[in-house]
Structure 1
Amino acid sequence: MRCTASAAVSFSDLGTRHGAALPQEWRTVWRSAIENLRLDQLPQHNRWRAGQVLAHLAQHDSDTFESWFCRRTRSS
């Protein structure tokens, strides 16, 4: 799961210009990876990047952000 999460936060159209664009056909799999993202299981730089992605989602894709947040609060 850690590799999936690290890959999920790498795409450029999610709050940064760095990285490859997320292909539309990968969006469902990507969303699942984000919903299951656990910041405490990521390397430090990926944690920072995940924070950038989550901030972007909070502003531009609130449903995905809410799903991630709810899963984290239930698993704590």
Structure 2
Amino acid sequence: VTLRRRYERRLIDILDQGEAAGLFRCGDARVAAYGILSMLTGVCTWFRPHGRLSKEQVIAIYSDQVLGGLLGPREP
């Protein structure tokens, strides 16, 4: 639990700093961090090495989803 909270806190801090610098748009860094961490920890429940998607494809999809969400255009 302590290690998980350290990971969460680090990611929240990174997202907060990125948003303050105008690099990310999170809305709520804690919610964004929980979403990202859930994606990463949940992949083991459905990914199969010989399944429909390769590891590289999953990495590309997840990267696009996370970075697209964080780096996408700001709403006016």
- TM-score normalized with structure 2 length: 0.25
